[in-house]
Amino acid sequence: MARLLENKVALVTGAGRGIGKAVATRLAEEGARVACCGRTLAHVEAVAQAIGGRAYAVDVAVGAQVTATVEAVVRDFGRIDILVNNAGVTQDNLLLRMSEAEWDTVLGTNLKGAFLFTKAVTRGMVRQRSGRIINITSIIGLTGNAGQSNYAASKAGLIGFTKSVAKELASRGITANAVAPGFIGTDMTAALGAEMAETLKQRIALGRLGTGTDIANAVVFLGSDWASYVTGQVLTVDGGLAM
């Protein structure tokens, strides 16, 4: 059976660990050549080496760095077929205690970063008259969460951004969709501790935390020809948490 993404070129931000690492790995398994992008070069180099891709150090919130990175990926691979905007951070705090820096850092990485990378890849995708843009949002962008007003705003903004981009680019053969993970077993959730993890599981219909591969499988689907008639959608992958 042919691999779903044979000969496609994918760019994944935040690819050095967690969901981004899982996404990069699954894309490669399905035949894609993967550009692994992240702030810490050592992390993305390790992933790229493991999957036969290439590594690029970039701060997704800095326009000049994003433009240079996309230009480098196109030089190295010849094109970009799939963009996965995964890079994300949290700086949680109650609204009354949240600093302007905490707000700006989270919105800069999670939302502005997606804008910058999407804008940078779009010209090439328009010329190709094909492309897949996949944004990793969160169920928090759908439900909100106390102590995460910055994170929720960034992820809700990403949903609106996805739908707008989908409408703008559909006539050029480009789709834009979002994946909204629930609680996924990553370094971020591991820091919550075993007791909190058990509490979370009780809220999830399927009774377990998700894995990076659960999210990566959704990304593979949206990046493939199987999803050629899907655009402007938010695919919630949360084990039934938000229903």
Question: Mind giving me the DSSP string for 83-110?
Answer: EEE-------B-GGG--HHHHHHHHIII
CA pair distance 162, 177, nearest whole angstrom = 6
- Tokens matching residue 94: 């109650």
- Asked if residue 95 lies in contact with residue 149, where contact means CB atoms within 8 angstroms, the answer is yes
pTM (two decimals): 0.96
Nearest C-alpha neighbor of 158 from the set 128, 175, 137, 130: 137
Six token digits for residue 2? 């042919």
pLDDT digits (tens, 9 = 90+) for 171-224: 999 999 999 999 998 766 666 677 877 888 899 999 999 999 999 999 999 999
**Two tokens at 13?**
């931000």
Token readout for 131 is 């492309």
Please count the other Cβ atoms lying within 10 Å of the Cβ belonging to residue 104: 14
229 is catalytic: no
Q: Which of 115, 151, 161, 183 is catalytic?
A: 151
Model confidence pLDDT, tens digit, residues 126-150: 999 999 999 999 999 999 999 999 9
